[in-house]
Amino acid sequence: IIHTNDDSSIGNEPVMHNVTTGVGYILYRVNGDETYFDCFNAYQQCNIRLYERRDMTGFVPTTGVSIGVDALELDLGSTHTFHPQVFPSNATIQNVTYTSSDLSVARINPDGTLITGSEGTAQITVYDGTGEFSDTCTVTVASANSAVPVLYGYRMYSSANGIVNFSADDVSDFNLVDAQTGHEPLTAMCYVDGNFYGFAKSETENTGYDFVIIDGETFERRTTNLWSYYYCRDMTYDPETGLIYCMMATNATIYSLYFGIYTVNPQTQSFNLVGETNRYLSVLECTADGRLYGIDMFGYFCSVDKTNANCTKIAHTTVSDINHEQSMVFCPSNGKMYWMKSDDNGGVFFEVNLADGTLVYIGYPGGDYITYQSVAGLCYVPTDEPEYQQGDIDMDGRVSVSDALLALRCGMEIVTLTPQQLTLGDMDGDGSVNVTDAIMILRAALIG
């Protein structure tokens, strides 16, 4: 065996143990003590992590790892957290790592959280800390609803400013829902429980911006007591906290000296700083389960920490120099994220992959690139949901054996149900869906 060491500070006397074809380990003597290395392949050069140990007494080798579930079926836009087990339970090395066979379908974070990005199938593999053992789960991602959502937004810099709507798969045809004649245009907008909320240049003050509420049915507009010096670039409602998150800046220019995220309570209009962002975000949007995302001015798709406004890059969208009115919207109905990007000539509409940040081009607002159709404040406005019978987990209008099977698979952690499905499947009211609920649903289905 030929040994080379590029760091003499960790020792000069290699002692090889169990070095045969395959896996072994190394001990170094460091200042008279022994230092243990992770297992490695004896025929490959590798970087090895050091574990300080005076001797090998008490070291328990790993014998296997389990990811916990063989297969998962997830809705597009949803997440799942794996809870792997290392065997034996008292193995000395307990850390694990993950890989995904298709990052566009599913991205897996180091903490075991899986983010769905597009329809398809991906293999999620967990490895034990030595790299010798692994286990795999097949993840299938599909859209929960094939219906194309209708989106709302606020059209700016046109002869017909106001609230518009359009189909998410055809942005060439804008419908003017209400012309906000005589009012300043909204720089950002979101929808919460029947009302549109937004910021607009103050109509009573010489500087600053008013917080505006527009009735979702009558489109009557009123200004609240909340006034801000800061320009709002984009805003989004978080159903998890019940707060509106706003991306604010001191002005509308690209190189503002201050970018920060604030929250607004839609009931009280209280205005609070979350924190200054470490990236210059142009858009901000929250998913149905409370995950916050943004795209910065240089085109990087980021996750955003709601507690401190810290941004973590996920990937580059391939689009740069984002310096006009923008907006992003998540649609719970189909689990997709959309982005309206604007530039000097007009807007471009994309679908954004939540897993890897890649873009799918959809079209130009208004159908013509040279027609300036800048739209701020994209919103998803939910339609009236039908009433579902308790036990109708698949929401097909009846309680059947398929609902019982869904409950059983949920109890076995094979599938992950949406919050609404969990409510429909919780027959005994204990806060979970398990085998007991599956039996109760099966009885209801057989009785009719």
Domain parsing of the chain, residue ranges: 8-52, 64-142, 150-380, 401-447
d(CA 376, CA 361): 18
B/e letters for 116-131, b = 16+ CB within 10 Å, e = fewer, are bbbeeebebbbbbbbe
pLDDT at residue 172, as a whole number: 74
- How confident is the model at residue 159, as a pLDDT? 58
**Fold (CATH) for 64-142:** Immunoglobulin-like (2.60.40)
pLDDT of residue 197: 96
pLDDT digits (tens, 9 = 90+) for 39-66: 443 334 444 444 444 456 788 999 999 9
DSSP string for residues in 331-356: ETTTTEEEEEEE-SS-EEEEEE-TTT
* Other Cβ atoms within 10 Å of 370 Cβ, number: 8
- Would you give the end-to-end CA distance of the chain in angstroms? 74
Kindly indicate the confidence band of residue 321, based on its pLDDT and cuts at 50, 70 and 90: low
What pLDDT sits at residue 9? Answer: 47
Under 8 Å between Cβ of 144 and 331:
no
Supply the pLDDT for residue 297.
86
Q: Is 242 left (phi over 0), alpha (psi -120 to 50) or beta?
A: left
Closest CA relative to residue 421, chosen from 446, 445, 389, 444: 389
Q: Considering the entire predicted model, what is its pTM?
A: 0.73
Whether CATH 2.120.10.30 fits 150-380: yes
d(CA 130, CA 195): 54
pLDDT in tens, 396-421: 778 988 889 989 989 998 877 777 78
Please tell me the distance from the alpha carbon of residue 58 to that of residue 161, in angstroms, as a whole number: 73
Please indicate whether the domains covering 64-142 and 150-380 agree at the CATH topology level. Answer: no
State the pLDDT at residue 15: 43
Pick 65 or 388 by higher pLDDT. 65
List C-alpha distances in Å: 412 to 390, 417, 418, 432, 433: 20, 12, 16, 12, 10
pLDDT at residue 384 tops 80: no
The token pair at 81 is 């957290």
Nearest to 262 by CA among 240, 230, 294: 230
Query: Residue 244 corresponds to which tokens in the numbers above?
Result: 């509106």
Give the Cα separation of 349 and 360 in Å (integer): 9
Structure tokens at 105: 């379908």
Q: Is the pLDDT of residue 306 over 80?
A: yes
Largest CA-CA distance found in the chain, in angstroms, rounded: 84
Amino acid making up residue 47: N
> In terms of residues, how long is the chain?
448
Two tokens, residue 85:
């087990």
